[in-house]
């Protein structure tokens, strides 16, 4: 809207957060290195922040269970590995939470509806909830109006249809929501439906959300 040659942005009515890389700290190379150490060849080409093979896609939309994923990984690994070793390697990328970030989201949630949209999977979510269980915020559901996990809703970013489905369930138009995300391909997917976006790079902090409110 333009009044007296001044542009006024429509106030944001809801926040939609990514999980990994925004709220929980990640290091993809730790999982890549862990898999390679137990015999998975070319792990970096199979899985990284920007692309991944079909097996990981299927795991993220719930087409594969945790058990099925582990069995498929066993077939890819040249050295005999136990279920616990594969889980440990898969979870190695998850570094944990900064309590100050969780407190910031809690403060936001007291003033504006907050939602979570994460490309995740059964094994990672279980591990993340275990970590949170040892912190003041015992689960993600205590911070958000609703959490959308890809393996539960059967949809994943960056697909346009995923964002449309989530926004419809939230009950908001794209222009009313700010999406906070650290992966550029997901930012581009969100822009296709005119979602407001905050590209969460290393130089960003959750304080940057204030300018949108």
Same domain? 36 vs 85: yes
CA torsion through residues 156, 90, 143, 18, sign: negative
Per-residue confidence (pLDDT) for residue 52, from 0 to 100: 56
Q: What is the pTM of this model?
A: 0.90
Do 83 and 77 form a contact (C-beta atoms < 8 A)?
no
- C-alpha atoms less than 13 angstroms from C-alpha of 185 in its C-beta half-sphere: 10
Residue 10 CA to residue 175 CA, distance in Å, equals: 8
Buried residues in 38-69 as b, exposed as e (16+ CB within 10 A): bebeebeebbebeebeebbebbbbbebebeeb
Residue that finishes a domain, picked among 91, 121, 137:
91
Per-residue confidence (pLDDT) for residue 45, from 0 to 100: 60
Per-residue confidence (pLDDT) for residue 42, from 0 to 100: 72
Same domain? 112 vs 127: yes
Residue 213 CA to residue 15 CA, distance in Å, equals: 10
Per-residue confidence (pLDDT) for residue 54, from 0 to 100: 81
Same domain? 172 vs 102: yes
Whether residue 204 has pLDDT greater than 60:
yes
SS3 state of residue 195: coil
Cα 43 off chain centre by? 21
Same domain? 189 vs 144: yes
Whether residue 78 has pLDDT greater than 90:
no
Same domain? 41 vs 58: yes
Which three-class secondary structure string do you get for 139-174? CHHHCCCEEEEHHHHCCCCCCHHHHHHHHHHHCCCH
Same domain? 39 vs 138: no
Mean pLDDT of 124-137: 93
Residue 127 CA to residue 88 CA, distance in Å, equals: 10
Mean pLDDT of 112-140: 95
Per-residue confidence (pLDDT) for residue 77, from 0 to 100: 85
Domain extent for 70: 28-91
Same domain? 57 vs 121: no
Residue 56 CA to residue 9 CA, distance in Å, equals: 39
Compare 1 and 135 and report the one with higher pLDDT. 135
Per-residue confidence (pLDDT) for residue 7, from 0 to 100: 41
Which range among 31-40, 117-126, 152-161, 171-180 shows the weakest confidence by mean pLDDT?
31-40
Residue that finishes a domain, picked among 59, 91, 123:
91
Same domain? 127 vs 144: yes
pLDDT digits (tens, 9 = 90+) for 133-185: 999 888 999 999 999 999 999 999 999 999 999 999 999 999 999 999 999 99
Per-residue confidence (pLDDT) for residue 95, from 0 to 100: 96
Same domain? 111 vs 63: no
Residue that finishes a domain, picked among 91, 106, 127:
91
Q: How many structural domains are present in the chain?
A: 2
84: domain CATH number?
A: 1.10.150.240
Whether residue 8 has pLDDT greater than 50:
no
Whether residue 6 has pLDDT greater than 70:
no
């Amino acid at each position: 809207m333009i009044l007296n040659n001044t542009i006024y942005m429509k106030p944001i009515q809801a926040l939609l957060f990514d999980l990994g890389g925004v709220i929980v700290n990640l290091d993809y190379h730790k999982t890549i290195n862990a898999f390679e150490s137990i015999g998975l060849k070319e792990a970096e080409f199979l899985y990284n922040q920007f692309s991944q093979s079909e097996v990981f896609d299927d795991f993220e939309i719930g087409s594969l269970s945790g058990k099925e994923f582990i069995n498929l990984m066993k077939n890819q690994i040249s050295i005999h590995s136990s279920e616990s070793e594969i889980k440990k390697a898969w979870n190695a990328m998850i570094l944990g939470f900064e309590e100050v970030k969780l407190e910031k989201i809690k403060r936001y949630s007291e003033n504006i509806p907050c939602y979570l949209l994460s490309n995740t999977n059964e094994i990672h979510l279980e591990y993340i909830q275990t970590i949170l269980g040892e912190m003041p915020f015992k689960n993600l559901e205590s911070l958000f109006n609703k959490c959308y996990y890809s393996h539960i809703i059967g949809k994943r970013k960056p697909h346009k249809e995923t964002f449309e489905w989530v926004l419809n369930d939230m009950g908001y138009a794209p222009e009313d929501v700010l999406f906070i995300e650290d992966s550029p391909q997901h930012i581009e997917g969100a822009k296709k439906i005119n979602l407001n976006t905050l590209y969460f790079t290393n130089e960003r902090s959750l304080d940057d959300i204030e300018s949108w409110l």
